[in-house]
Amino acid sequence: MPIRAILFDLDGTLLDSERESAEAMARALHVGLGVEIGQAERDFIIGRSWVDIYDHLCAVHGPLAWSRAELIAATTAQRASVFAELGVTVLPGAQQAIARFRHLPLGVVTGSSRAEAAQALDALGLGGVFRAVVASEDVPRSKPAPDGYLAAATALGVAPSECLVVEDSHAGIAAGLAAGAKVIAVQAGNFAGHDQSAAHHVLATLDQLTVELLRSL
């Protein structure tokens, strides 16, 4: 069955902003709650959803005075200044891959919030390119559940089996497979060393995501 749409993960796949997000979260917790987080909590956010991050913080530091939504909002506010200070790293081949497949319906499925996704896509210069953006608020379950990818396929009017999912994390790969999509893993942003072996193909960078490869799936 030919691929009719491509669904991209965001952080770790199109750009590397998770370290900036960790710094923003650390600043938000320090300023807002007087909570100091260590490197382990910063590292934990890589490849994980806000549901998992919030639960982990509560397990380590006890119940937070903020709800998960309040933590996300405070982090998003701090992230704008962190991006301005540190910039954002676009992963190799990301913008070129998007340009190569602009003729197809494209979507983003992320564990980030809508506001964070908008910040990141603007930083990439890709605001408005994606016909569907599914963020953490939009689905009841985060990756590795397939909810986000199923929602994106529905929004694009394409069967999940006709979608290609492009991911970096183990949970994201599992989500794409559970949705019934073809899954490609990209190594360039896999800084946490997630196991990518379950994907149908593993690429070094998005430069290798070619029209010829798509036709072969």
Predicted local confidence at residue 84, as pLDDT: 84
Structural domain spans, the chain: 5-16+89-216, 18-86
Q: Is 189 helix (H, G, I), strand (E, B) or coil?
A: coil
CB of 150 closer than 8 Å to CB of 179: yes
Nearest to 171 by CA among 196, 139, 191: 196
pLDDT digits (tens, 9 = 90+) for 13-57: 999 887 888 899 999 999 999 999 999 999 888 767 788 899 999
Q: Which residues are catalytic?
A: 9, 11
Cβ partners under 8 Å of residue 158, min gap 6:
4, 5, 105
Evaluate if residue 90 carries a pLDDT over 80.
yes
Distance CA 109, CA 205 (A): 19
pLDDT digits (tens, 9 = 90+) for 60-75: 999 999 999 999 999 9
Could you please state the CATH topology (level 3) that the domain comprising 5-16+89-216 is classified under.
Rossmann fold (3.40.50)
75 CB-side CA count, 13 A: 29
pLDDT digits (tens, 9 = 90+) for 91-138: 999 999 999 999 999 999 998 889 889 988 988 888 889 999 999 899
Nearest to 183 by CA among 191, 171, 117: 171
Distance CA 203, CA 168 (A): 10
